[in-house]
Chains A and B, each alone.
Chain A
Amino acid sequence: MKIVLIFILLFVSACEQKVNPKPKPPIQTHLGKKFTYYQAGQLRPASSGMGRQGDHYIYAPNIRFPLESAPAYINSQVYGIGGLHGPRGSLCDPRNYQYPWSDNYCETRTWSMPLCPAGTGHQGVDIRSSTCEKRKYYAVAVEDGIISYIGKYTVTLRGVSGRKYRYLHLDSPTVQVSRGQRVRRGQRLGLVSDNMGKAKTSIHLHFDIKQTIKIDGISKQVYVPPYASLVVAYKRLLQGRP
């Protein structure tokens, strides 16, 4: 059965390549050119690491975008302008606050990440809010669920799907939910900030998705790629149906 399946997949893949020999352009557009984005797994700059290219699977379908309002910008904090390994400049440089988006899941880190090509990498994506102002923009629940944990600078939402969504760097005094509270999709959680305890970080929301994958009877928890799910969610937000 498995051999048959592999054969079918290879056959379909070959057919698709014949029908559609041109690769997709690196930058996708939406709503004219209002929103542009690099494909999932294409990290920018290229020196920021090796992304999970070719994986366009939407691991968390139908989630709401985790920031209440657009525009928002997914790009590298560490390798962006003013970042630790980025070009000199201000973290608030306008170029950090413009499209196209670029994935930063799997961006170079030393942290174990089996789904990243390097085996290590960033466990989620970093999202900048509309402007470089802290305590102004709300992070919201991406699906109905329960607040399972609130830490020093982390809020964890366990969705009804069983996925765990982590929101890092929210401003602690503005967190509007409590541990054990049931929340609805779109409900405000807290304001985006640069909170990382006594350590420094930039103003952004780190968002990641941890889920359990059963592989031939053995189950494992893993941080899955959130970028493709967020692109779809953001398009819905732009179209006014978050």
Chain B
Amino acid sequence: MRLLLLTVFLFSSLYGESGILEIRWPKPNAKHQKPSIPYPSVLTKGIKNTKLPVYLPTSYLYDKNMGVVGEKDFYTISFTLKDATLMVSGDRTYQESVSKNDPKFQALAKSSSNIEFIQEEGMMSVDFNRHGVNYSLLVECDNPETDKRCTQEGFLKDVYNRLIVVGGHP
């Protein structure tokens, strides 16, 4: 009985734990965070309460039609492109805390790449971790089978390479 209780206790300490990730804040880049041409108000207002570094690609920074969902622990910003949508998101929460020795998650622990391009159901996405925060880029196409943005990595790689921190605060 004691053994079972101990096991339950140990399991409960391994599973079900959720929380906030610790952020290693990047050195601020004044040019990016206070640009000569102010960012659209939809962006600055949308992320004013967001407590993680907000990355956006330089190519779309001044798109006034961007859709911004900014909360304390996450943000999602989407752009309407020709025949496609682009999403950029960051999230500082986690839902499970496990040991790398847990066989259930060993495969995940081994896939240690910090950036992963993933073909999805008609979409292309990339997940990466910076400063302890998890970010995603995703492109979704009107024609998912033939649009190269959704079948090859090139478009998202370019978006990824143009990311800069435009806001967020501790």
- Interface residue ranges, A against B (CB under 8 Å): 2, 5-6, 8-9, 11-12, 55, 57, 59, 110-112, 114-115, 119, 123, 146-154, 156, 158, 161-163, 168, 179-180, 196-199, 206, 211-216, 218-222
Which single residue of chain B is at the shortest CB-CB distance from A12?
Answer: B7
Q: Are B107 and A6 in contact (CB under 8 A)?
A: no
- Interface residue ranges, B against A (CB under 8 Å): 3-4, 6-7, 10, 15, 18, 21, 67-69, 71, 73-74, 76, 78, 84-85, 87, 89, 91, 93-101, 104-105, 107-112, 116, 118-123, 127, 129, 132, 134, 136, 138, 140-145
Which single residue of chain B is at the shortest CB-CB distance from A208?
Answer: B121
- Expressed in whole angstroms, the Cα–Cα distance for A151 and B85 within the complex equals 6
- Expressed in whole angstroms, the Cα–Cα distance for A114 and B91 within the complex equals 20
| Min CB–CB distance A219 → chain B (angstroms) | 5
Chain B residues near A8 (CB, 8 Å)?
A: 3, 6-7, 10
Q: Are B95 and A220 in contact (CB under 8 A)?
A: no
Given known contacts A146-B71, A206-B121, A161 and B18 CB-to-CB distance under 8 angstroms: yes
Q: Are B107 and A114 in contact (CB under 8 A)?
A: yes
Q: Are A215 and B108 in contact (CB under 8 A)?
A: yes
Q: Are B18 and A119 in contact (CB under 8 A)?
A: no
Chain A residues near B15 (CB, 8 Å)?
A: 57
- Expressed in whole angstroms, the Cα–Cα distance for A6 and B101 within the complex equals 9
Chain B residues near A161 (CB, 8 Å)?
A: 18, 95
Chain A residues near B104 (CB, 8 Å)?
A: 55, 57
Chain A residues near B71 (CB, 8 Å)?
A: 146
Chain B residues near A119 (CB, 8 Å)?
A: 107
A-B CB contact pairs (8 Å), 14 listed: A8-B7, A12-B3, A112-B116, A115-B107, A151-B85, A152-B84, A161-B95, A162-B73, A212-B91, A213-B94, A213-B96, A214-B97, A216-B109, A221-B136
Chain A residues near B76 (CB, 8 Å)?
A: 148-149, 156, 158
- Expressed in whole angstroms, the Cα–Cα distance for A222 and B118 within the complex equals 11
Q: Are B94 and A196 in contact (CB under 8 A)?
A: no
Q: Are B69 and A215 in contact (CB under 8 A)?
A: no
Q: Are B96 and A149 in contact (CB under 8 A)?
A: no
Chain A residues near B138 (CB, 8 Å)?
A: 149, 151
Q: Are B118 and A111 in contact (CB under 8 A)?
A: yes
- Expressed in whole angstroms, the Cα–Cα distance for A222 and B113 within the complex equals 13
Q: Are A212 and B121 in contact (CB under 8 A)?
A: no
Q: Are A151 and B87 in contact (CB under 8 A)?
A: yes
Q: Are A112 and B69 in contact (CB under 8 A)?
A: no
Q: Are A9 and B84 in contact (CB under 8 A)?
A: no
| Min CB–CB distance B118 → chain A (angstroms) | 5
Chain A residues near B112 (CB, 8 Å)?
A: 218
Q: Are B96 and A214 in contact (CB under 8 A)?
A: yes
Query: Which of B73, B78, B118 touches A112 (beta carbons < 8 Å)?
Result: B118
- Expressed in whole angstroms, the Cα–Cα distance for A151 and B125 within the complex equals 13
| Min CB–CB distance A19 → chain B (angstroms) | 12
Chain B residues near A55 (CB, 8 Å)?
A: 104
Query: Which of B7, B101, B132, B134 touches A221 (beta carbons < 8 Å)?
Result: B134
Which single residue of chain B is at the shortest CB-CB distance from A196?
Answer: B122
Q: A149-B89, A219-B129 are in contact. List 10 more A-B contacts (CB 8 A).
A: A12-B3, A55-B104, A115-B105, A146-B71, A148-B74, A199-B144, A212-B94, A216-B109, A219-B94, A219-B132
Chain A residues near B100 (CB, 8 Å)?
A: 215-216
Chain A residues near B85 (CB, 8 Å)?
A: 151-152
Chain A residues near B69 (CB, 8 Å)?
A: 146-149, 158, 179-180
Chain B residues near A152 (CB, 8 Å)?
A: 84-85, 140-142
- Counting from the closest, the 8 A-B pairs by CB-CB distance are A162-B93, A151-B140, A148-B76, A212-B94, A211-B95, A114-B111, A198-B143, A197-B142
Q: Are A12 and B96 in contact (CB under 8 A)?
A: no
Q: Are B93 and A199 in contact (CB under 8 A)?
A: no
